[in-house]
Structure 1
Amino acid sequence: MAQKLEAKGGKKGGVWDDGVHDGIRKVYVGQGQDCIAFVKFEYVDGFEVVVGDEHGKKTLLGTEEFEIDADDYLVYVEAFRDKATEESIVDLKFETYKGKTNKHIETSPGVKFVLHGGKIIGFHGRSSDVVHSIGAYVTFPSTPDLQGKWIKVHIHRNVQLRRIRGAFSSRVHNITKEMAQKVGPFGGNKGDAFDDGVLGYTGVKKVTVGENGNGVDCIKIEYEKDGRFETQMHGSVTGILKEFELNYPDEYITSIQGTYSNVARYNTTIVKTLTFKTSHGRTSPMFGNTAIFSTDFVVEGKAGAKLMGFHGRSGSALDAIGAHFFASTSPLKHIEPRGGFGGNAWDDGVYDGVSKISVGLNCGNIGYVRFKYVKGSTSVRHSHGKMSEEPKFKVDYPNEYVTSVEGTYNFCGDVTSLTFKTSKGRVSPEFGKASGSKFVLAVKDHMLVGFCGRNGLILNCLSALGARFAPVPTPVPTPVPTPVAPVPAPVPAKKLEAKGGNHGAAWDDGFYEDVRKIYVGQGDSGVSFVKFEYDIGKKLVAGDGHGKMSLLGTEEFELDFPNEYIVSVEGCYDKVFGFEAEVVTMVKFKTNKRTSPPFGMDGGIPFVFEMKDHKIVGFHGKSGDYVHQVGVHVSPISKS
């Protein structure tokens, strides 16, 4: 389970929240005149690299990129607010577990604050044209295990681009990861922003709305978190409080209907009315007061999603309201941790299955657990508690899977025993000694795919254990083989030597079936950046960017796939003042239908990549801040 560290800095700007992920892969920091102009983060979720939004506004002063190694993770952020107003961030230092840091100002330029407390797995804050504040999500770190294939997904911009480092994976995961959706807020733009988020909340039990003669003056929400209920309130109580209680946990809010309008008393727009609808088909009374001239709004997720948290703006009244929703269509079943209520929460997430379980004892109770999960072709380990002697129980995954867990916990809230059962009818040894209250974690026709729980604060013992279950996949019948005509093996692509200066880091996108789109960025001295989108099996694959994007941005050359393909690449390279080696100064692309405009400046040593009856199916080269070399992969043009 992650912990949300409060955003520190100024109070100006709009609230942003990238949410919780498995880790951070890359940090972008944009410099402003006297402060940090913008930040942007790339996150890791399993094998996916999720590209977050830019928070703030780019300037002409450049962007620093700080990449975290696959076997490392962020643990510390040091920031400084400007001394005069404390409303903007003037410097940011990021540090990893292994001690790697970004470039930053060594002398203190302002009022210092830090974010730390574990592995950093997400960021939130405030921004306008600059960064005003920053906060983080942290969790207890486990051994980084992120090497292998990564798929890149620009989720925030809804661009479904995926790339894979290394060989292509044909495995299909049957588990749908729960995803949050943030809707709104609707209403006015004054008051202080608030965001209860969805972190750690299991659901909403009760909503209390304050109404006066002008509209809705406040909202109070009772959430469940870690088996306990806690209340968040936004706005000011000036009138009557009215409650709407749900049949929790079976019933949940699916939508909010309301109105907002300008109110003279507050000299701003506030929420006038609120009505809630639930998963049981119930509709609450209308709270607030109607107005002749008002604007209607609806806050709801997709396909009856479950409301998990509110956000908006409030001050003397409720200025605006929105909500976070979780998709209710996920096949996963979540059993909340059973046992005591104390301790630090943790959550391993969701995997394909469990292959090994290790359990250690402490003072007669369960003091340590370690789980080895399987995700695709990768193993991921998570451990919790103080390491001790580890009796192990192996599971023959994927031929066998865990179906249930039985355990007991004592009056102090410590788990005293654990026993695991599998799909083959096997039962693990009893770890610990059964005493106290019994609990069972099991869902019919489901398999266990992830654990969550809590560890005690005083004794290093497991105080609660929960789990997530996924439906058991339906066996696919083995098809009867039918004779087929032999298919000739594909002709491997040929790699043509790169041309240009011998400087920078080598890169190679490999070869594909076709090229779909090309991005070229120019700098003051030539081509500074290239990126290619390829096709394989009628699926789009986005390659990495090579070089460094300048403030001039990129130009695009899109092919009429699948009817158009590249037959040659022309360009030139030259020695440019200030560079150790030649840089590519111009490239252009010729297809079976047309020729692109030249990208860059035509001058220097020319080169051409072309082979009769072949097409370009991949690129390689060398780059640093500029593109120094470029080469191609070619394959025969199909006659079909």
Structure 2
Amino acid sequence: MALKVEAKGGKVGIQWDDGSDYHDVTKIYVRGGLEGIQFIKFEYVKAGKKVIGPIHGASGRGFTETFEINNLEKEYLLSIEGYYNASTGVIQCLQFITNKKTYDPIGYNEGARFTLSASRSKIIGFHGFADKYLNSLGAYFIKIPSIQSAIEGAKTTGKGFDDGGDYDGIRKVYVTTDGSAIRHVRFDYDKAGQVETRERGAKTGTQHEFTVNHPYEYITSVEGTYAHTQPYNCVVLTSLTFKTSKGRASPAIGKVTGSKFKLERQGDAIVGFHGRVGSCIDGIGVYYAPLPPSPPPPEKLQGQGGDGGDSWDDGAFKNVKKIYVGQGDVGIAAVKFEYETYTSEVILAERHGKETLLGYEEFSFSLP
């Protein structure tokens, strides 16, 4: 069943809905003008045949651009970014992002910014509002199935394990090695913003950790080695190395000896693991899913108030958990903030302002 994402922009004009009974979007026509996007029109694929949708909006003076998505080369639409005028509600700019490329934007980067996206999903249909202009745009998404790799290392010894490939990404990896073999693995997966943990093997030896800055970073490659190793008298994994979409790599965990392997697929992220486990991790495989577009960077708003004193900047985090406000004789003496990072760690930032004898008032937020 398709996921319907709410239309972004003004909810004025005639409501329209192309539906979600399609397999892919194959062509998009967009006409822009001085006041914003005038109309949009889509061509879809259904049961291998092209379906031409109606025009949404109206044609005036302006320019039309056509965006073709090559479904034959397994290209599909992942997300749309754009801007709309908060006063008129008219869409000002649209940019289409597929698993193969990011197309040039059409229109003007002015107004309120929006994104139409869903984790590990592709767009198959659209809805929105229009009259003389395109006032809003929403989309229908369906999940893209993950692809299971073959197992590297032992393929028959031990017992099979399978975490599945229905996760949005990986937040943290734990690997335990005893110097000759990988004994234990644990994966903290992200699923709809919640952590789900899976672990296999015997936690005997030294544990190593590798943290991923999800959703801004994904594991894209697993390299390793395997060998017939004593005293286990069977083929086991001897080392593992993880690489990410940001170009980072973990140290080689374990002893790099034996046959080498690499689990990687161009343009994909690793979203799950499977393999074989006995007294050690005997073999390992992965699940691939399309590497999603990076979330837009946080928007930095100008500070309000006076410009005296020293400038400070805590940076950007996933959430604000608590705010501490220190009262002074003539106003606010100090503030400090407790944050949640993208790896679910909680940190208390430095105090900004002068310490106060009047104490702090604490404000806590209930986070999902």
TM-score range, shorter chain: 0.3 to 0.5
Q: Which has the higher contact order (CA 8 A, sep 6+)?
A: 2
- Highest CA radius of gyration, 1 or 2? 1
TM-score, reference length from structure 1: 0.25
TM-score, reference length from structure 2: 0.43
